[in-house]
Amino acid sequence: MTAFNVDLRGINEVYRPYLTDEHRYQLYFGGSSSGKSCFLATRAVLDALSGRNVLVVRKVQRTLHASCWNEVLKAVRRLKAAGLFRVSRSDMSLTVARTGAQILFAGLDDVEKIKSITPQAGALTDIWIEEATECSRDDFKQLDKRLRGPSPFKKRVTLSFNPTWKDHWIFREFFGGWAEAGQAPDPAPGVRVTPGRSYADRRVSILRTTYRDNRFLTEDDRQALEEENSGYYHTVYTLGQWGMRGDAVFTDWRSADLKVEPPPEGLRVFYGLDFGFGHDPCAAVRCLLDKRNRRIYVTGTFCEKGLVVWQLAERLKAFAGRAKVTCDSADPRCIAELRSQGVLAVAARKGPDSLVHGIQWLQGYRIIVDRGCADLIRELSAYCWKEGSPPQPRPGDDHLIDAMRYALESEQRPRKATLRKKSEVIGR
């Protein structure tokens, strides 16, 4: 153990009691900018200095560097503890020089690496799953099994996330007691609850926070969250509450591990691209169409900002090879430049009501998305109807959905556009 003094003024008050929480399963959820990740990064540094070995994971490896890795490094600097750690950027690890305790990082898309991770001193004691709603229940179970071996510390799995919808496995797995305790006049013995805020029983602790709990936000940050007028986004990202998908555009979709549940053989492959650069990303999708069973399998995506045309061309050649890529026709110059650099890029036809027709056609299929396509899963979860009539989807975070429409445009037969809300969809 490394002796270290902590200035608690640098930690939001709501989180301070959880610095030494020893529940096996800990859930920190709520709204955007509530300080969850900052707190857990700070706690990971302090845990390592106390002798714990911490593994930090996200669903996709490449998302770790710009999120958890940077948060942990900022926490080290904020705590003035840089001299106590050896930092390896190549394998993304921090090691306490005196004791050998470590903070390690890994993506769940690299299963073999997860299986082989072993701290250099002692057993793994803590796993922090950031953006846990991106992960499957199987991911969680496999990680839980990694906490084995003798240790003087209690083992802990920590999940941090913005809530999505109430049929998510996390809600089903952990929030039964939370819901019951919030309604009961007298909690069960051993249960501590502040309705809507916190819950704890013998094995599980849950804390919900919002931007109001983060005293380090600017007034502009707070105002942006308070002025959010989308029902879903306001519920989830401003209020930090579980959302309901009653206004969802797509209701017949699910995520799956397509390596375990592969699509049928012999299906045609389609590629689509939605252009972007600064504020909006370039978004590409690879999907397979099973007309007989009326299924669309999405097996790959990428979604990146700031790509100039030659970078996008290289990215597409690695992603789609020599296959045709149907692109947003709004930028013919980019399509021509992509073709000049070896990408078989073609313009989507679009035409009157193409958005309406495309959504109507997609609604006729069950969409099965590989669990590695976290950006598309997030888009489908949040893609909802605007209020009013006629039905129109709310624009915004729909780049991969647009790319999917373009990819499958050649298979869509023009017909009268009649969009269906969830209440109008007949179960199949």
Cβ proximity of 252 and 46 under 8 Å = no
Res 422: pLDDT: 47
pTM equals 0.64
* 3-state SS class at 351: coil
d(CA 80, CA 45): 11
Question: Where are the strands (E) in 90-155, listed by range?
Answer: 93-96, 102-107, 126-130
In whole angstroms, give the CA distance from residue 154 to residue 100: 18
**CA–CA distance, 272 with 277 (Å, rounded to integer):** 16
pLDDT number for residue 342: 95
Q: Over the chain, what is the mean pLDDT? A: 88
Count of other CB atoms within 10 angstroms of residue 71: 20
Q: What is the pLDDT of residues 63-100, one digit of tens each?
A: 888 899 999 999 999 999 999 999 999 989 999 999 99
Phi, psi values for residue 262, rounded to 5°: -70, 150
Which of these ranges, 28-37, 148-157, 158-167, 172-181, has the smallest mean pLDDT?
172-181
Q: Looking at the DSSP assignment, which residues form a beta bridge with residue 400?
A: none
- C-alpha distances in angstroms, 332 versus 61, 195, 318? 34, 55, 22
Q: What is the pLDDT of residues 332-360, one digit of tens each?
A: 999 999 999 999 999 998 776 788 889 98
3-state helix, strand, coil in the chain (%, to 5): 35, 20, 45
Q: Measuring CA to CA, how many Å separate 417 from each of 16, 99, 247, 262, 358?
A: 54, 66, 19, 32, 9
The band of 231, judged by pLDDT with boundaries at 50, 70 and 90, is: low
Beta strands in 11-68 (DSSP E): 25-30, 54-58
Give all strands (DSSP E) within 147-191, no chain letters: 156-161
Is residue 222 scored above 60 in pLDDT?
yes
Domain range annotation of the chain: 21-238, 253-424
**Helix (H/G/I), strand (E/B), else coil: 181:** helix
pLDDT tens sequence across 95-128: 999 999 999 999 998 767 787 888 999 999 999 9
**417 pLDDT exceeds 60?**
no
CB 363, CB 252: distance < 8 Å: yes
- Bridge partner residues of 283 (DSSP): 274, 303
Q: What is the pLDDT of residues 318-331, one digit of tens each?
A: 999 999 999 999 88
Domain 253-424 top-level CATH class: alpha beta
Q: CA–CA separation, 108 vs 354, rounded Å?
A: 37
Query: Would you state the pLDDT for residue 424?
Result: 46
Residue 108 in contact with residue 58, Cβ under 8 Å? yes
Cis, peptide link before residue 395, omega less than 30° from 0: no
21-238, CATH topology level: Rossmann fold (3.40.50)
pLDDT (0 to 100) of residue 427 = 36
Tell me: the pLDDT tens digits for 126-144? 999 999 998 989 999 999 9
One-letter amino acid for residue 136 of the chain: S
pLDDT tens digit sequence for 287-323: 999 999 999 999 999 999 999 999 999 999 999 999 9
| Percent of the chain clearing pLDDT 90 (strictly above) | 61
Is 28 in a helix, a strand, or coil? strand
